Structure 1
Amino acid sequence: MRAQTSRSISGQVVDELGEAIIGANVTVVGNKSLGTITDIDGNFTLTVPQGTTLEVSYIGYVNKKVVVDNKISYKITLKEDAEQLDEVVVVGYGTQKRVNLTGAVSAITNEELVATKSQNAQNMLTGKVPGVRVIQKTSEPGEFTNQFDIRGFGSPLIVVDGVPRGNLQRMDPNEIESISVLKDASAAIYGVRAANGVVLITTKKGEKNKPKIEYNMYYGIQTPAEMLEPVGAVDRMRLFNEKSMRNLTNPQLTYSDEQIEEYLNGTLKSTDWYDAVIRNSASQQQHNVSLSGGSEKTDYYVNFGYTDQEGFFKSKAMDYNRYNLRANLNAEVAKNLKASIKINGIIDSKQRQYLSTWEV
């Protein structure tokens, strides 16, 4: 039996447009340890026995097998994997197939986002994106004071449809198509501003079909996680006296014994201000209407949203209202030339008491 002779072959791996594919794997079927990868021009060189079958693979493309015959040079064309064409993630100022990603990128779709209901879209990311921390400091209506970071670093850069901005909290979650989080070198395209990572938001656009009108709404009841029992007037005065007597520079009583005695003998009576001022529940609602559609060369998406959140004061001194408008229009003006118009408007108003809640 004559042993197979090996010889050196070369080739180039390209896509359907003829562009070189960098880093494609070229291996021998049945011997994965014998192989190489393509260089910056898509070229490769490999020494293999004649009659060997090569398997060429690259993430996002269909694997291709090539039988080594008498030729010494091969040009191999890979086709994109049609089943993965729709799986895209926003990276930088564009999109990239999820399977092509080499950096740390996490993504979330609109369906996953709106599963949680909140007037703050930032809160909807809680526990849904690896590495993203959302710490809600208060649930007061219209208060956007969350601690929001990626892997414990500072505030990340927020980019909406390719434009850096910082209004994720006030966006209508129904207008968001997807959110991608760039955690490392994937964010380098944004320069020094991306030192803490980047949150890329893509808003919805119309599909090529008949006009579609959608209406979404939810109505919820908020209840306090815990309502603390307040102390009476006598205990409060004694606590204040304990605090003021420990002042290192000027220790003194805030309330005299005579003032305390007036409550002890019934001359004055304590008032449960929690019960007088605070109610046990407050409403929260959101309404959203969108119109979308398109043809072969144009598509449009228009969204209008309304959000209302009430506070727990019986006087309704705390309330938040927001109106969102989003309009995305895309058109193919000429061959290989597309134009887009994106309009975003947010009007909100917050009503609250003059003093901080903790000082009331």
Structure 2
Amino acid sequence: MIFCLMPLAALAQTYTVTGTVTDKNREALIGVSVAAKGTTMGTNTDIDGKFTLNVPDNSILVFSYIGYNTQEIRVTSATPLNVVMEETAALLDEVVVVGYGVQKKVNLTGSVAAVNSEKLESRSAPNLSTMLTGLASGVTVRQGSGNPGSDGANIRIRGIGTFDGNYRSPLIIIDGAEGDMNSLNPEDVESVSVLKDAASAAIYGSRGANGVILVTTKKGRKNAAPRVTYTGIFSRTTASRVLDLMYDYADYMEMYNMAEFSVNPKVNSNYDAEEIAAWRAAKSDPNGIYTDPDNGNQVPNYLAYPNTNWSDILFAPTHSQQHTLSISGGGENSNYLMSMNYYEAPGTLENTGIDRFNVRVNLESQITNFLKIGTQTYAMRQRKDPGNLDQVNTYRLQTVGGIVPIHDGKYGGPESPREKNDVRNPIRDVNAVGGKNTTTRINTTWYAQAEFYKGLIGRASINYQNLFYDSKTYSRQLDSYSFRKGTILIPGTTLNNATTTRAYEKREQYTANLTLNYNTTIASDHDISAMLGYEQFYFNRSGVSARRKGLLSFDIPDITTGADLDRSEE
């Protein structure tokens, strides 16, 4: 009898599972954890709430998200999944800020997303708008610039609602008054509510057409001992991705010659073979000594034959720091919070940094059993260097590797005698303007609130805001230097062509609100609420700017020393 033994191998079937995760309002949830139970396979949903994951047959997918109930779904095919997450019962009892009042989440009929201070405190970002990234479904947060002071994010709620690019941002309400969220100290924020649909934002009329973001700042606690809190954040900023441009100057010269030949084969090459060979030889011996044949000037090869990687220079890692000191507490009939904040970001380039100082005072006092008064007041002062980091990519495309950025306080020019003199040194360009741009902002709200009857509350408030912008800029004489020759290659601006600019802008506004709210519950299951309100708004903007051409001295760049009035505007 002959037996034949054959090994059998069972191959487990796998599926590529795709799907979308939304909330009950069918809005995409960003960053939901999707994992195969009992394995290390997992992923997160993207900005559209979509996910893709390879899993074995009959796997159980676990969907988890902060504030929502965890769900488990068994996978038996590659059919796309549409998962609707439900909020936890505890969160439904939370009170969220809505237009001119508060409501429990369970009673909301509109689409409102709430972000509390715990989610914000775990993030390191230069401003509040950037911190909102990925924290609310249906809200797209995109930072368009890394220039310190101009690095606030563009926020879009449920996409773009208009073709006019000037009116795509949501309405920002801070403690009941329209304001700028990026002027706030993020450590002072208690919660952020996002009103996303017409039902929830309708009370603000046409101003809320693109959604409304309500920011509520922190208060002290009654019957609490003084609590002193310090928060210090030191962060390192690096470019996540940069263009990998050619910086080997010998390669650049060869490529340039090839491009010229392809356009006109009869034209002579701009860079000769001898110069290209000299550049390659110097690269292999960067510390060798170059001696200029005309004047005998001696410098290392890395100065005479530079190969500058401008991506590394213009996007060098930088450090920023932020410090917040606050004290809060309260007695039987009052509470208080006072805070100070300092933020400094030097920028990836010289002359592009900012420093900002914030101070806040929130006070509230119960005058009688039915009446309380309070104030929410903050001030901000920011100083910004005038260098324009937003043009950094333009600068980079106008330069070549054969330039020394800066050495011994001198800005390099093109070292090759065949290079065009209009090739730019970005480091010199960004430092060619001196001065400071200073912004001072004061925002104060005073209010009184009375409970006339159980559930019937009246509130009167007045908000005053003042913004003052002061810009002082002037030309700086920065020569372009040839390190080979040891001489000035391209002189900087002259006194006759130098300019000095002075600009002022003042914005002033006030908002007065009167509201009457009534809330009651019938038979423990039926909530009734009504609101009557009046709002008055005033805004005024004025300013002047002037520029003079021709200075008496670079050491005295004040506009009063300018010779000719080049421009004046009001």
What TM-score comes out, normalization by structure 1 length? 0.66
SS across alignment from 2:278: coil
Which of the numbers 135, 138, 143 marks the counterpart of 1:131?
A: 138
Which of the numbers 172, 175, 180 marks the counterpart of 2:188?
A: 175
Is the 2:96–2:102 Cα contact (8 Å) retained in structure 1? yes
Tell me the alpha carbon deviations over residues 311-337 of structure 1, each in whole angstroms, 9 at most, x when there is no partner: 223xx3332211111111111223422
Identity %: 36
Is 1:121 matched up with 2:136?
no
Is 1:296 matched up with 2:332?
yes
Which of the numbers 318, 333, 342 marks the counterpart of 2:352?
A: 318
Shift in Å, 1:283: 0.9
Is the 2:346–2:354 Cα contact (8 Å) retained in structure 1? yes
Whole-angstrom distance in 2 between the partners of 1:141 and 1:291: 28
Tell me the alpha carbon deviations over residues 277-304 of structure 1, each in whole angstroms, 9 at most, x when there is no partner: 4474211221111111112221111111
Shift in Å, 1:353: 2.6
Shift in Å, 1:152: 0.8
Q: Equivalent residue for 2:317?
A: 281
**Which has the bigger relative contact order, CA under 8 A and spacing at least 6?**
1
Which of the numbers 255, 269, 282 marks the counterpart of 1:257?
A: 269
Which of the numbers 376, 384, 387 marks the counterpart of 1:350?
A: 384
Whole-angstrom distance in 1 between the partners of 2:256 and 2:131: 40
Q: Equivalent residue for 2:117?
A: 110
Is the 1:234–1:260 Cα contact (8 Å) retained in structure 2? no
Shift in Å, 1:104: 0.4
SS across alignment from 2:367: strand
Greater Cα offset, 282-291 or 265-274 = 265-274
Is the 1:94–1:162 Cα contact (8 Å) retained in structure 2? no
Whole-angstrom distance in 2 between the partners of 1:192 and 1:223: 40
Q: Equivalent residue for 1:30?
A: none
Shift in Å, 1:233: 3.5
Shift in Å, 1:91: 0.6
Is 1:159 matched up with 2:173?
yes
Q: Equivalent residue for 1:95?
A: 102
Whole-angstrom distance in 2 between the partners of 1:306 and 1:317: 19
Which of the numbers 213, 218, 239 marks the counterpart of 2:233?
A: 218
Whole-angstrom distance in 1 between the partners of 2:136 and 2:382: 28
Q: Relative to 1, partners in 2 of residues 1:123 and 1:258: Cα closer, same or farther, differing over 3 Å?
A: same
Is the 2:356–2:382 Cα contact (8 Å) retained in structure 1? yes
Pairing of 1:55-66 with structure 2 (within 5 A): none
Report the count of equivalent residues.
270
Whole-angstrom distance in 2 between the partners of 1:326 and 1:244: 63
The CA RMSD measured in Å over matched residues stands at 3.2
Q: Equivalent residue for 2:207?
A: 193
Q: Equivalent residue for 2:368?
A: 334
Whole-angstrom distance in 2 between the partners of 1:276 and 1:132: 34
Whole-angstrom distance in 2 between the partners of 1:130 and 1:275: 35
Q: Relative to 1, partners in 2 of residues 1:320 and 1:237: Cα closer, same or farther, differing over 3 Å?
A: farther
Q: Relative to 1, partners in 2 of residues 1:270 and 1:108: Cα closer, same or farther, differing over 3 Å?
A: same
Whole-angstrom distance in 2 between the partners of 1:186 and 1:302: 32
SS across alignment from 1:117: coil
SS across alignment from 1:328: strand
Shift in Å, 1:172: 1.2
Is the 2:257–2:270 Cα contact (8 Å) retained in structure 1? no
Tell me the alpha carbon deviations over residues 78-134 of structure 1, each in whole angstroms, 9 at most, x when there is no partner: xxxxx8898211111222222221110010100111211111211111111111110
Pairing of 1:223-242 with structure 2 (within 5 A): 223-231=238-246, 232-233=248-249, 236=252
Q: Equivalent residue for 2:409?
A: none
Q: Relative to 1, partners in 2 of residues 1:263 and 1:205: Cα closer, same or farther, differing over 3 Å?
A: farther
Q: Relative to 1, partners in 2 of residues 1:193 and 1:238: Cα closer, same or farther, differing over 3 Å?
A: farther
Tell me the alpha carbon deviations over residues 162-215 of structure 1, each in whole angstroms, 9 at most, x when there is no partner: 0011x2123211100000000111111111100000000000011011111111
Tell me the alpha carbon deviations over residues 231-284 of structure 1, each in whole angstroms, 9 at most, x when there is no partner: 1345556778999999xxxx99xx973346574243773431538844742112
Is the 2:257–2:269 Cα contact (8 Å) retained in structure 1? no
Which structure 1 segments of 5+ residues have no match?
1-82
Whole-angstrom distance in 1 between the partners of 2:269 and 2:386: 37
Is the 2:127–2:152 Cα contact (8 Å) retained in structure 1? no
Whole-angstrom distance in 1 between the partners of 2:329 and 2:92: 21
Which structure 2 segments of 5+ residues have no match?
1-89, 161-167, 280-303, 396-425, 427-570
Whole-angstrom distance in 2 between the partners of 1:266 and 1:203: 64
Q: Equivalent residue for 2:53?
A: none
Tell me the alpha carbon deviations over residues 145-166 of structure 1, each in whole angstroms, 9 at most, x when there is no partner: 532111113210000000011x
Q: Relative to 1, partners in 2 of residues 1:240 and 1:188: Cα closer, same or farther, differing over 3 Å?
A: farther
Whole-angstrom distance in 1 between the partners of 2:92 and 2:329: 21
Whole-angstrom distance in 2 between the partners of 1:145 and 1:260: 48
Whole-angstrom distance in 1 between the partners of 2:362 and 2:154: 30
Whole-angstrom distance in 1 between the partners of 2:257 and 2:221: 68
Whole-angstrom distance in 1 between the partners of 2:104 and 2:261: 67
Greater Cα offset, 197-206 or 331-340 = 331-340
Is 1:308 matched up with 2:344?
yes
SS across alignment from 1:211: strand
Q: Relative to 1, partners in 2 of residues 1:136 and 1:236: Cα closer, same or farther, differing over 3 Å?
A: farther
- Letter of the 1:132 partner, please give it: V
Is the 1:205–1:301 Cα contact (8 Å) retained in structure 2? yes
SS across alignment from 1:215: strand
Q: Relative to 1, partners in 2 of residues 1:245 and 1:193: Cα closer, same or farther, differing over 3 Å?
A: farther
Tell me the alpha carbon deviations over residues 209-228 of structure 1, each in whole angstroms, 9 at most, x when there is no partner: 11111111111222222354
Q: Relative to 1, partners in 2 of residues 1:262 and 1:345: Cα closer, same or farther, differing over 3 Å?
A: farther
Whole-angstrom distance in 2 between the partners of 1:207 and 1:138: 38
